Chains A and B, each alone.
Chain A
Amino acid sequence: MENEPVAFTVLDLIDLDLKEQNALDLKCVAGRSGLGRRLTVPDFNRPGLALAGFFDAFAWEKLQIFGRGESAYLAKLDRENDYASVNKLFSYSVPCCIFTNSLLPSKAFLDAAEAASCPILVTPLSSSEFSSRVLRILYEIFAPKTTMHGVLVEVFGIGILLIGDSGVGKSETALELIERGHRLVADDVVEIRCVNGSTLMGQGVNKMIGHHMEIRGLGIINITHLFGVGAIRDKKQVQLVCQLEDWNPEKVYDRIGMDELTYEILGVKVPKLEIPVKPGRNIPIIVETAAMNERLKKMGYHSAKEFNQNVMRWLESENERTLYFSRDDY
């Protein structure tokens, strides 16, 4: 289920729907027939050495970024009518060449790219800006991912993944949370990516069917249309897992909150609560309170631990007092 090889082509890179500070602004100027070439590693290479004729350890499988330096060198090669290194570069199956600062290569270079079916892309961004953006985006795309059955909601700013067997009331709980002003991220199937090795980002698998919910007795409902755009969110970090389960009289549920359970997703441990469901227990309110308690914990205040410390202190003083009053010389 997880880590199937990412099939990410150059065309996918151009097609990414990114906003403002994430936009790559790529335009293809040559080699369209090669847009189906795949990116296999989330990294780029500056091909300066290759252009100078040094092809040892040439990282051809990465994006090739041509900045001002590379462009100037290409112009020099063009003046000298020396295309040996350019042709050698295109003999590798380079996924694509990207020119930054809106620089355009010479006609000869474009023709060579066209002949080799290597896409040539141009962006108005500077090399440093483009490389930091593209790395961030590629890391996210190539991050390990998995899909989970559950509902991801944002409650008081905390991303909560509701999991549990079918029919235990995950969607109904989420619906009531939305009704109470919280946000839906994804229902039923949640795609989770592990970014930076420690952050779990959850989102719906498909933008088209995202933000719809199936409620037994109602069918499929559109949350955006029913509750407005304020009731939805595209993605959110998974910060807490609430496992809903039918009340099991045999099982011992946490009654203090001192022992912290965790749930492992893609190697990252997330705090977990086991919430027993039975008639008369208002699960949405329990989840809402859990979210606020989680925020308190993040702020450094642990209700259960603080409570126990106070009790211990109190017991200790009580003990001292009895010892004092029961002394023989009192």
Chain B
Amino acid sequence: MVEVETTIKNRAGIHARPSALIAQTAIKYASRIYLEKNGNKINAKSIMGIITLAASFGSVIKISAEGPDEQEAVNAIKALFDSGFNEELG
């Protein structure tokens, strides 16, 4: 089990495009990957789930993964958040 915390850096927050990016990245890993905000924990491989988090600019998200490639998975998802999904940063 690997866990890491990150904040939303792009101004628009996690709307459809970023959540598709997250899900597409997550699906490449065999581990179970979760995103957590304010106690809501959702599967990072589900687009609709990620949108439901309502992760707006500045919110804190906990990324966790469990499985054979958990470290790589968390690193990859964290990198996406850090890059601001190639959108305008706040």
Q: State the A residues within 8 Å of B (CB).
A: 252, 255-256, 258, 304, 307-308, 311-312, 314-316, 318-319, 322
Contact = CB atoms under 8 A, between A and B. Distances in A.
15 contacts: A255-B24, A256-B17, A256-B20, A256-B47, A258-B16, A307-B16, A312-B12, A312-B15, A315-B54, A315-B57, A316-B13, A316-B56, A318-B56, A319-B13, A319-B58
A41 B47 CA distance: 56
A312 B51 CA distance: 10
A180 B47 CA distance: 31
Nearest to A305: B16
Contact of A315 (B20, B47, B56): B56
B23 interface: yes
B45 to A, nearest CB: 11
Given A255-B23, A255-B24, A318 B17 contact: no
Contacts of A316: 13, 56
B42 interface: no
Given A255-B24, A314-B54, A319-B58, A308 B15 contact: yes
A319 B57 contact: yes
Interface residues of B, number: 17
B14 interface: yes
Contacts of A252: 24
B12 A315 contact: yes
Contacts of A312: 12-13, 15
Given A255-B23, A255-B47, A322 B16 contact: no
Nearest to A304: B16
A256 B16 contact: yes
Contacts of A258: 16-17
Interface string B11-34: 011111100100110000000000
* Most-contacted residue by chain A among B12, B15, B55 (CB, 10 A): B15
B15 A318 contact: no
Contact of A311 (B15, B57, B59): B15
Given A252-B24, A255-B47, A256-B47, A315 B17 contact: no
A108 B17 CA distance: 78
A322 B60 CA distance: 12
A319 B57 CA distance: 7
A114 to B, nearest CB: 74
Nearest to B47: A255
B15 A315 contact: yes
A313 to B, nearest CB: 10
Given A314-B54, A315-B56, A319-B57, A308 B13 contact: no
A227 to B, nearest CB: 38
A312 B20 CA distance: 14
B47 to A, nearest CB: 6
A105 to B, nearest CB: 71
Nearest to A319: B56
B53 to A, nearest CB: 10
A54 B17 CA distance: 69
Nearest to A252: B24
A226 B55 CA distance: 55
A308 B20 contact: no
B50 to A, nearest CB: 10
Contact of A255 (B13, B14, B20, B58): B20
